[in-house]
Amino acid sequence: MADDDTLSVTFAALSDPTRRAILARLRQGEATVGELAAPHAMSLPAISRHLKVLERAGLVSKGREAQWRPCRLDAAPLREVDEWLRGYRAFYENRIDRLAAQLADEEES
């Protein structure tokens, strides 16, 4: 990861497929740590730590209900990712259109 700026922490949190799977699961609603761990061939402590990474990135928040820690998605940091991405959108959108336009230009000359 290296730095602690929001974007770096967010991207780092998203760079692990297990963590992205957890986020995907949380779109369907709250889930306990155990429920989140179930689909993964991984120990519970490992999932607990992945959740801590997501929490530190502000992507997940945990409640306390008896001995359960219901987790829920907190997507706000993704908006920053979206805004960052916006600065690059022109470079990857309509790629085919722009390629076609370029080819047309070449043909004209």
Partner DNA sequence: CGGTTAATTGATGATTTGGTTAAGTACAGC
Partner DNA sequence: GCTGTACTTAACCAAATCATCAATTAACCG
DSSP states of 13-73: HHT-HHHHHHHHHHTT--B-HHHHHTTSSS-HHHHHHHHHHHHHTTSEEE--BTTB--EEE
- Which partner in its own copies, DNA, none is near 87 (CB below 5 to 8 A by kind)? its own copies
Element (H, E) at 95: helix 95-108
Closest CA to 5 of 58, 61, 69: 58
Q: Is 41 near its own copies (CB under 8 A)?
A: no
- With CB under 8 A as the rule, give the number of residues binding its own copies: 33
Smallest separation, CB 54 to DNA (Å) = 10
Binding site for its own copies (CB under 8 A): 1-3, 5, 7-9, 11-12, 14-17, 20, 23-24, 27, 73, 75-76, 78-79, 81-82, 84-85, 87-89, 91-93, 95
Binding site for DNA (CB under 7 A): 1-2, 12, 15-16, 18, 32-35, 41-53, 62, 66-69
